[in-house]
Amino acid sequence: MRATDEKGFTLIELVLAITIMGIIAGTTVTLLSANLKAHNIASDRSGLHQEGLLTMERMTNGLRKTTVVAVPNGHSYTRDILAFSRLVNSDNDFYFGDPLFPRIDEDLSDDYSWCGNGILGVDEDDDGQIDEGDWRDEDEDGLYNEDPLDGLDNDGDGSIDEGTMPDSNNDGKNGIIMIDDDGDGTVDEQQGDNVNDDDEDGATNEEDILFVVYVYNSATNTLTEIHSDPDSGINSPAPQIVLSTQVTNFQAIYKSPGLIEIILQLTGEDGKVIDFDEHVYVRNVLQKNGKRVR
């Protein structure tokens, strides 16, 4: 019988093959790890960018529509706080009785926030003191009732229409002079002698402004949205939403009564920063005749 030739790997060939396979496997793992890391970094960066966009959109959309910008203001131009009316129809009334046209921030009193000294817990003038002075002093400048709602800077402090008075436009008439505010066919009608009825509905000083406040905490890198209103206090804290925990810079800059610049910077886990900067024109500021642009 003839023996069959036997074929196989020698020990050296086997060792060499295993070594080559190990090198290939190691290279593959390294490449996969690098690709996975790059993917994670790109994903984190994309998520951070999206977070910044949504945060900026939340602030700018509200700011464009608001009727009152409280902070920043003509007393303190650059702040790490942004506060403005969030356009709540707090007394649930409507123009011409039509629910499609709510009356927002109308018929204000000389304490338009009903908290005293501006927004509760906010340092409007950035002097290190909170809610100081007379309860009618809405911007903590030591004055009150200094600005009627006429779209002008009557007291020369750089802000318009702050520190409102009971007859909000100071025209001595109900509502806006020569305007049928409530659409009942009668102009400037009065209930008795009360000129403080700014919307001709028979009631006075029934509306209060409900504010939204954006606060930056540099110690925790957080930007928080707070819904401030007269009912908020120790026993009933204002609703809060943490918009981001990766904020490394936030500034709201007062350029003019109708123009605010918002600067936002987010920093990722890799130390890379994403910057956002937008100038916002406040569309709903009060005009000379006292009417708001809707």
The amino acid sitting at 199 is D
If you count them, how many residues does the chain have? 294
What distance lies between CA 202 and its chain's CA centroid? Answer: 34
CA 253 to CA 250: how far, in whole Å? 10
Token couple for 286 = 């009060």
d(CA 128, CA 93): 38
* Residue 122: per-residue pLDDT: 79
Judge residue 102's burial from the number of C-beta atoms within 10 Å of its C-beta, 0-12 exposed, 13-18 middle, 19 or more buried.
middle
Give the pTM. 0.71
| Residue 89 near residue 102 (C-beta atoms within 8 A) | yes
User: Rg of the chain over CA atoms, in angstroms?
Assistant: 31
Q: Is 50 exceeded by the pLDDT of residue 234?
A: no
- Mean pLDDT score, 245-268: 93
DSSP state of 113: T
Signed CA dihedral, 117, 118, 120, 121: sign only: negative
Most confident by average pLDDT, 180-184, 212-216, 234-238: 212-216
Task: Indicate the DSSP class of residue 97.
Answer: G
Q: Do 131 and 117 meet the contact criterion of CB atoms below 8 Å apart?
A: yes
The domains of the chain are located at 11-104+209-294
How far is it, in rounded angstroms, from Cα 159 to Cα 273? 34
Q: Cis peptide before 72, with omega less than 30 degrees from 0?
A: yes
Q: At residue 255, what are phi and psi to the nearest 5 degrees? A: -90, -40
Q: What is the pLDDT of residues 87-105, one digit of tens each?
A: 888 778 777 777 887 877 7
CA-CA-CA-CA dihedral for 73, 76, 81, 85, to nearest 10: -20
Q: What is the pLDDT of residue 293?
A: 42
User: pLDDT tens for residues 241-251?
Assistant: 999 999 999 99
Q: Of the given ranges (11-15, 145-149, 166-170, 178-182), which has the lowest mean pLDDT? A: 178-182
Q: How confident is the model at residue 165 (pLDDT cuts 50, 70, 90)?
A: low
CB 190 within 8 A of CB 171: no
More confident residue, 142 or 255: 255
Q: pLDDT grade, residue 276 (50/70/90)?
A: very high
- How many CB atoms lie under 10 A from the CB of residue 176? 20
- According to DSSP, residue 238 is labeled P
Q: What is the mean pLDDT of residues 183-207?
A: 65
Query: What is each CA distance from 180 to 64, 101, 149, 289, in whole angstroms?
Result: 27, 15, 17, 13
**CA–CA dist 110, 101 (Å, integer):** 25
**Contact criterion met (CB below 8 Å) for 223 and 248:** no
Q: If pLDDT is split at 50, 70 and 90, which confidence band does 18 have?
A: confident
Confidence (pLDDT) at 26: 74
Residue type, 159: S
Angle among Cα 107, 239, 134 to the nearest 5 degrees reads 45
- Please report, as a single letter, which amino acid is at residue 63: L
CA distance 203 to 107: 9
Three-state SS at 24: helix
Q: What percent of the chain has pLDDT over 70?
A: 60
**What is the structure's pLDDT at 260?**
94
